[in-house]
Chains A and B, each alone.
Chain A
Amino acid sequence: MARYARSARIIVLVSLLLSGAGCSSHKSPESPPTPKLPDLSGVWQIAQPLTALTSESCGAPPLTPEGAKIYQQRVAASRAGDTSWDDTAKCKPPGEPRTLFEMGWPFQIGQSPERVVFMFQWNRYVRVIEMGLKLADFDGPFFYGRSSGAWEGDTLVAHVIGVREQVALDSTGLPHSDDMKMVERFRLINAGQQLEARIHFEDPVTFTQPWDTVLVFNRLPETAIVEDHCLDRLHLPNSYRPTLEQRGGAEPTATRGS
């Protein structure tokens, strides 16, 4: 019986951990994903290869002296071959919003009345927008922060807090602080063949003023995502590795100058 008890604890524990056990409004599996709301389901890929985020209104993000110092250190380190600032070199998640465009790899969106899930090809990472989640008493940070979603007409609006300070906002190392707040606005454009993400950043520690960036994603076939294991990809020879063609895009090339 003791063995059963321990097994029970482990099973229940792991189930709790992995299922995120909880409850909210019950939805039957037959219910369509909220009638009359846009369905973002599908596979998406950044329309233009991107490594550095830019401000829609002023080009380079408006870094504070403190933010610029961190950023310049990272750029200089990268040029010297030192990527120690970048946890993705250890296969840790690129985080939000970087995974949306990292390496030009696609992601799949799954949508239900309770959440919108981003299932990235990049090491199979998953980011979840919980609809109606209260962000009070937040105890992060996390790689993808905590996201509370709501529909405003045809737009999915996600308020994001608690993104880890170690997570760079883009591939060049754009920094932020733990206090950063993001508001992401996702909507279908071009008859549903493209997805627009308008992202608003607020972080007085890192940026002199709030700024916005706009990302556009193309719809890809449902079969476009291939399996990726980062550790396998980086460190194990003769293992599976997607070809450039399978990734569907070019290697990142652009960098923001220091």
Chain B
Amino acid sequence: MVSNSSSKPLAHRARVATGLLILGGVSIAQAQIAPVTPADLDAVPAGHQDIARQLGPVGGNLSGRNAHDAGRRGPGGAPPGASGAPPGSAPPGPPMSSAADPQDLRGFWYGRGASERSYEANERPGPRTRSKYELALLCLVDPGVEPSGGEIFQTPQVITWLKNTDLHARRIYLNVDHPKDLTPTYAGHSIGHWEGATLVVDTIALQGTFGYVGSSFHRPGSDVYDQVTRPGQKLPPPTKYFKNEIVMATPTLHVIERIHKINNGTQLEDDLSYSDPASGMTPYTMEAIFSFGVAGSYLEQFCEDGNDRFGPAYAEELSKSSRK
């Protein structure tokens, strides 16, 4: 494994492979896959719930809205993950003969990354802040450095990662410096360069919140947390920047990633290291693993279309409350 994270102090380390989500040795593939329930839908972003209902049981036949894709797939051409195999498991198809080129990341990479949101991060009492949950409701979350699978487009100047998370694009500009006087954004500003087979990505100028600490997977006391946290590792001590167990970006938040292919090019590993001197966060590392696959046609789904109730009035109210 090409990684620099193992040599750094580890406060927490989560290994997630999409579709074959490994949590302390328990994989999603082994878990019981049951039909979607109303409770499950509550965890799905509002804009996606109508689609979820049409999809019906997860792991079943992707008919309905996707029926028009069937012709392109050919007879019986159910997509990988739609007929039992979870998305992200090794898809069928011709061998990746060109996987030998480590600096070509083009293709579709399945993966939910290490930051699986639970949308429960705001359930605990605490100082009111614009948590990731609230931001998500306001459609203000940008995947940015948050690991998420998706399609990668690549040119000599920029690597564009079309994240599955609400279909937003992340851009990594190659072989350039950060501009001066950057205005913080949700995605930040990412630059990258190749160190042999590894793409080293440097991201600064971030704003907003990040749910790495606050997700249910990482919450102390949860069974999942216990399994993904290595013995002896502890989360960073709570500070004012960790309200509601949410990492809030400060102007000094700095994220370094080392992205490289593994397993003969069939998987992509993203080793992330977060540090933020202002918040006292020492390098906080995790890794996300994505599996190469193929994608059917995209379903249009936009957060803003499912959030009429979170219109301007709500945004204004939230804006006021978050500034108290």
Contacts and interface: CB of A to CB of B under 8 A. Distances in A.
14 contacts: A9-B58, A12-B87, A16-B58, A17-B55, A19-B87, A19-B110, A29-B98, A92-B302, A112-B106, A125-B302, A136-B71, A143-B305, A222-B155, A235-B312
Interface residues of A, number: 77
A27 interface: yes
A87 B61 CA distance: 34
Interface in A15-46: 15-31, 33, 41-42
Nearest to B143: A124
Given A6-B37, A12-B86, 8 more contacts: A13-B44, A23-B78, A30-B96, A110-B153, A119-B162, A143-B305, A230-B304, A235-B316
A21 B79 contact: yes
A225 B105 CA distance: 22
Contacts of B311: 90
Nearest to A18: B164
**Majority secondary structure of chain B interface residues (helix, strand, loop or mixed):** loop
Interface string A229-242: 11110111100100
Interface string A196-240: 000000000000000000000000001101110111101111001
Interface residues of B, number: 112
B150 A19 contact: yes
Contacts of A13: 36, 40, 44, 52, 55, 58
Contact of B296 (A23, A112, A234, A240): A23
Contacts of A132: 72
A21 B184 CA distance: 33
B239 interface: no
B43 interface: yes
A144 B295 contact: no
Contacts of A136: 68, 71
B248 to A, nearest CB: 15
A201 B32 CA distance: 49
Contacts of B301: 17-18
B79 A23 contact: yes
